[in-house]
Chains A and B, each alone.
Chain A
Amino acid sequence: MERTETTPTYSSHTVSLLVENKPGVLHRIAGLFSRRGYNIASLTVGPTERPEYSRMTIVVRLSSKTVEQVVRQVQKLIPVVEVRELSPVDLIERELLLVKIRTPERNHAELRALAETYEAKIVDVSPDALVIEASGNSGKLDALEDRLAQYGIQELCRSGRIALERGFKTLAPPNLK
């Protein structure tokens, strides 16, 4: 007889952290993910409305149960002031994409039109290349990437996800100075 544990299904989760803005904090967090075997799909870190704290957004592909574990383990790190998985329903997520397409000038008009459809901008033009900038949620950027593939992507980088929840809720605990 076996213990009845549900079979895990893996999906993408957005974990948001408010951390002290001090040296070594990224190392502590990344180290915890690596030693406990949690794969990071993307990680962003940047300043917040309070200079002494930074905000990190980490995207993981894990089972919901494992994500709970991740949150609890991360919460134990001293420089982590707050950590939560953001609800996918209330999530505003954005990512930035820069992509360089190597293509002859005759295709530029077509690409301009395509970019417009995705609310993307052409930020650099040379005779045989274009650089397109787009932002949005990951799904939209994936779709744009797919469409651009046929033109020959020379180089591409994505910023990783940043996210906030809708409404008045914030990540910072009320007692935070």
Chain B
Amino acid sequence: MAKEKMTGAKAVVRALEAEGVEWVFGMPGGAILPIYDALYDSKKVKHVLVRHEQTGAHAAEGLAHATGKVGVCFGTSGPGATNLVTGIADAYMDSVPMVAITGNVSSALIGSDAFQEADITGITMPITKHNWLVTDVRDLPRILKEAFYIARTGRPGPVLVDIPKDVQNAELEFEYPDRVDIPGYHPPVREEPRLKDAAALIRGSSRPVIYLGGGVRTSGAYEEVAKFAELVGAPVVTTVHGKGSFPETHPRCLGMFGMHGSKFANYTVQESDLIIALGARFDDRVTGKLSTFAPEAKIVHLDVDPAEISKLVTATVPLVGDLKLLLPQLTEETRNAFQTSGRADIAPWWVKVNAWREKHPLRFTAQGEEHIMPQHVIQRIWEKTQGKAFVTTGVGKHQMFAAQYWKTSEPRHFITSGGLGTMGFCLPAAIGVQLARPDALVIGIDGDGSFQMTLQDLGTAVDLNLNIKIFILNNLFLGMVHQWQNLFYDNRLAATPLSDRPDFVKLAEAYGCLGLRARKPSELEDVLDRALAHEGGPVIVDIRTRQDEHVYPMVPAGAPLNDMIEGN
């Protein structure tokens, strides 16, 4: 590629084009104006004007979740940049590839407490894979190339590139590099993977369980996981980010385990003698009290990030690498071990697992004539759509109900804020998903508290005429906190009741989109049907659900995984 003289701002746009970026989410401001001006001429990169930068970051995440591509968001200096912080932290916790680009005050003013100045590289250091403050315009092409490379490779994550205004205006000879050279990025794998040891454990196990995390999605190793699971024949459990990486309708899938996992999934993990963890990190929300977690289980832990191995639970056999490359080798090694030495009988284990499944299914009180049950709403939407939709959620009770009852069978179709637990994620993520997948049905399951954290971006969704359908399971409470107060704080409801404001139907109308409401079970079916049939923009559905319907089963924080509170 021949070199071409241009400004730093133009170079940013050219880099985005070279990276195949289709959508950028952001809001302009003084310090990023040169980049916006350059973007104005781009025929390839389209910009979505959000009403708050946090939405831009979450929308970029939604796009990345749905496609595996790098999500891109923009913010101006100071508050524009700090408004991105929640979204960046969310992407960091959930290993979502993201490039955040911020403008900053001119180099000469940096460090002088200038208007709208913030040390955003300092602020985001602990929540990015890496970040850069660009001080020389000639470094821009290299830095942007590295930024995209680092964001999407290995264990993906967010990166941030902060570009002072004078650097955006300065000129350079632009040439986008075709390769990166980062001496500190590829940590050498020091040990040969102990595949034989892992296979020997699998062969000898009579109570194995396969535990899938978000790493399966990252690696795209769905077929590899299916083949491995087929061979081993063990029950499969997932985290919230593992949902969809193995069909939840498959007879061997027990769905989500952990704090709000099913009893049968938790019992299975807890009584197993071997846990094969694939792309997972033993988060406290899945393990319960660590010292009592699966006490008899040996651990085979396969993950791309060596720092996750034995961080919380010591791995009997660690396997560091990309699942897509390493898992087929483990499958072969296990097949050989089975063929040459036979394997332990796991039939009695399945008898046990199936008995738990039969005795302790996920259940809720059947919906009567008085109250709409949140679980029922999710089941009905699932049935009406055959589960063929992308689902995004906020954070709270509705999220856990969705995780429990939305049986996900397609990869990347259940999109949620898992690690950081960011309320307000649902609507912005739905915007990103719908843009990336214009023909798909995109459904948001949100809560009344969560929705209100980012509702200003209904305007964005209407502007874009996106057919997203947001179902608010409205219990007039910060429901999950209400549940904890009810169970652990003598029902002292400090700051959890939400007033019946705003009127979500009127709000939808104010933004120029369809608003619907169901207060009673008798109104539900019609409202769901109308919402699902609606075209020509977003629809907001206010569904008044039973207020004291809690999420069960529940492992209280710090309790052993098999010590669950049950509902009614």
A residues neighboring B (CB under 8 Å): 1-3, 5, 19-20, 24, 27-28, 31-32, 35, 65, 68-69, 72-73, 75-82, 173, 176-177
Contact = CB atoms under 8 A, between A and B. Distances in A.
B122 interface: yes
12 contacts: A2-B295, A3-B290, A24-B121, A32-B126, A35-B126, A72-B307, A75-B307, A78-B130, A81-B183, A81-B184, A173-B188, A177-B183
Given A31-B125, A75-B307, A20 B295 contact: no
B250 interface: no
Contacts, number: 63
B296 A1 contact: yes
Q: Which of A3, A5, A81, A177 has the most B CB atoms < 10 Å from its CB?
A: A3
Contacts of B188: 173
Contacts of A76: 129, 187, 305, 307
Contact of B183 (A20, A32, A65, A73): A20
A80 B184 contact: yes
Interface in B97-136: 121-122, 125-126, 129-130, 133
A163 B532 CA distance: 67
A65 B309 CA distance: 11
A6 B490 CA distance: 38
Contact of B126 (A31, A65, A69): A31
B539 to A, nearest CB: 42
A80 B187 CA distance: 10
Given A20-B183, A78-B150, A78-B182, A5 B126 contact: no
Nearest to B126: A35
Contacts of B133: 24
Given A5-B291, A78-B130, A78-B150, A20 B184 contact: yes
A27 B291 contact: no
B183 A3 contact: no
Q: Which of B130, B182, B183 has the most A CB atoms < 10 Å from its CB?
A: B183
Interface of B: 121-122, 125-126, 129-130, 133, 150, 182-185, 187-188, 290-296, 305-307, 309-311, 313-314
Interface SS of A by simple majority: mixed
Contacts of B314: 5, 65
Contacts of B290: 3
Given A24-B121, A69-B311, 16 more contacts: A1-B292, A1-B295, A1-B296, A3-B292, A3-B294, A3-B295, A27-B125, A32-B126, A68-B310, A69-B310, A72-B306, A75-B307, A78-B129, A78-B185, A80-B184, A82-B184
Interface SS of B by simple majority: loop
Nearest to B187: A75
Contacts of B126: 31-32, 35
A27 B150 contact: no
A81 B291 CA distance: 35
Contacts of B185: 78
Contacts of A69: 307, 310-311
Nearest to B188: A173
Nearest to B320: A72
Contacts of B130: 77-78
B182 A3 contact: no
A5 B306 CA distance: 20
Nearest to B146: A78
Contacts of B311: 69
A79 B122 CA distance: 15
Q: Which of B187, B292, B310 has the most A CB atoms < 10 Å from its CB?
A: B187
A79 B306 CA distance: 17
B292 A2 contact: yes
Nearest to A73: B307
Nearest to B299: A3
A73 B185 CA distance: 13
Contacts of B306: 72, 75
A71 to B, nearest CB: 9
Contacts of B307: 69, 72-73, 75-76
Nearest to A1: B295
A79 B296 CA distance: 40
Contacts of A173: 183, 188
Contacts of B187: 75-76
Pairs of residues from A and B, 6 with the lowest C-beta to C-beta distance, nearest first: A72-B307, A1-B295, A78-B130, A81-B184, A75-B187, A81-B183
Contacts of B305: 76
Contacts of A3: 290-295, 313
A24 B293 CA distance: 40
Contacts of B292: 1-3
Q: Which of A2, A69, A76, A176 has the most B CB atoms < 10 Å from its CB?
A: A76
Contacts of A80: 184
B295 A176 contact: no
Nearest to A20: B184
Contacts of A2: 291-292, 295
A73 B212 CA distance: 23
Contacts of A73: 307
Contacts of A1: 292, 295-296
